[in-house]
Amino acid sequence: MARRSKVTINDIARHVGMTNMTVSRAFQDPDKVKPETREKILAAARELGYVPNAFASHLRSRKNRLIGLVTASVDNPFYSEVIKAISRAAEQHDYTIMLIDTDGSPEREEVAIETLLSYQVAGVILSPVSDDAAYQPAYLERLRAAKLPVVMLDRILNVEDFSRVVLDNRLAGRLVGEALVNEGIRQVLVLTGPRGSRITQHRLSGLKEAYDSAGIPLRLEQRPGDYTLQPAYRDMADFMRHSKVPEAVFGFNQLITLGAMRALHDAHVSRDDVLVAGIDRLPYADIFDVSVPCAVHDTYRAGHEAFHLLFEQIKDPTVAGREVVVSASLMH
């Protein structure tokens, strides 16, 4: 079957017997075209199946209403909630979100930034693939050269010139640590993100602070992963093959916690035999009568603040960069 060719302004002009300029003006500046002429052109467009190039029109309008949103993992429920908040805030200000999932790939992240620059977006909300202090992607200079408003969210790069919305990760680790102390836990298997991640380091520091403050020794074993479910499942299963079930398992985000719980379930380990704790709310856990102490952050606020920091910079490019810290609270 032959592929149908795309209908153009030229096709409509030939169909109605008018110039390309008149047809183009009917779409771009309709007030300058007689009503009867405009209606004839629009009728022809409908008949021929013409679809305007929204991107080209958007560039010609010189009023950019696109915002880029780059995340490392849209399948993470944390980001799903953040994206919802950003999308709703953007809609209230007549902006549209262009979402790109890098799936944890630095190469895809580089392409994502180049794509957003080519679309001349008004600004970018960025949750990079890594928050290791050594991670300095080449696109940073491209963003600076373009003078593009940028807000980092959750994971942040080791730079000072971009606004950011961060979680109070040290507090989150401490809150879970205090809950473990209160349960009489002395041995903890900690399933974390990468060792070099500052989020990992701050959450781990908070956990240790809780035990230090209580004057209680902690036997801790860390298994670093990448904040996704499968490595956590593998590490939990591997630990149980070589060691006794720990007194407690602490997952450093909800996917890690779920991975650990799946491994425990598959090994037929009762929830009475090991205490599972985590960071981030476990979605729908209450439906299954599962109680897991978790340090949670207001993800909706995180997304809302990220958009408004960006909007602030779009309106006034001279505004100084700011940091917003989203606190944590403990829930069961």
**Res 233 pLDDT > 90:** yes
* Confidence (pLDDT) at 119: 87
What's the pLDDT band for 8 if we cut at 50, 70, 90? Answer: confident
**CA atoms within a 13 Å half-sphere pointing along the CA-CB vector of 172:** 29
- Give Cα 99 to chain centroid, integer Å: 9
Domain boundaries, the chain: 9-60, 64-167+299-331, 169-297
For domain 169-297, give the CATH number.
Answer: 3.40.50.2300
d(CA 205, CA 174): 8
* Confidence (pLDDT) at 111: 94
* Confidence (pLDDT) at 139: 93
Q: Which of 18-27, 60-69, 261-270, 297-306 shows the lowest per-residue confidence on average (mean pLDDT)?
A: 60-69
How many percent of the chain have pLDDT more than 90? 68
**CA atoms within a 13 Å half-sphere pointing along the CA-CB vector of 135:** 18
- Tens-digit pLDDT profile for residues 44-95: 988 888 876 655 555 555 456 899 999 988 878 888 889 999 999 999 999 9
- Contact, 285 vs 258, CB < 8 A? no
pTM: 0.80
d(CA 98, CA 68): 5
* Confidence (pLDDT) at 305: 97
* Confidence (pLDDT) at 51: 73
Give 296's strand partners.
Answer: 329
- Tens-digit pLDDT profile for residues 147-197: 999 999 999 999 988 999 999 999 999 999 999 999 999 999 999 999 999
* Confidence (pLDDT) at 112: 95
Q: Which residues contact 235 (CB under 8 A, 6 or more apart)?
A: 191, 223, 225
Q: In residues, how long is the chain?
A: 332
Level-2 CATH architecture, domain 9-60 = Orthogonal Bundle (1.10)
* Confidence (pLDDT) at 57: 58
* Confidence (pLDDT) at 2: 41
- Tens-digit pLDDT profile for residues 95-127: 999 999 999 899 999 999 999 998 889 999 999
Enter the tokens of residue 294: 């978790």
Enter the tokens of residue 302: 């995180």
Q: Which of 44-48, 205-209, 312-316 shows the lowest per-residue confidence on average (mean pLDDT)?
A: 44-48
3-state helix, strand, coil in the chain (%, to 5): 45, 20, 35
Strand order in the sheet with 328-331: 219-224, 187-192, 248-251, 275-279, 294-297, 328-331
- Contact, 256 vs 227, CB < 8 A? yes
* Confidence (pLDDT) at 197: 95
Domains 9-60 and 169-297 share a fold: no
For domain 64-167+299-331, give the CATH number.
Answer: 3.40.50.2300
d(CA 113, CA 100): 9
**Res 298 pLDDT > 80:** yes
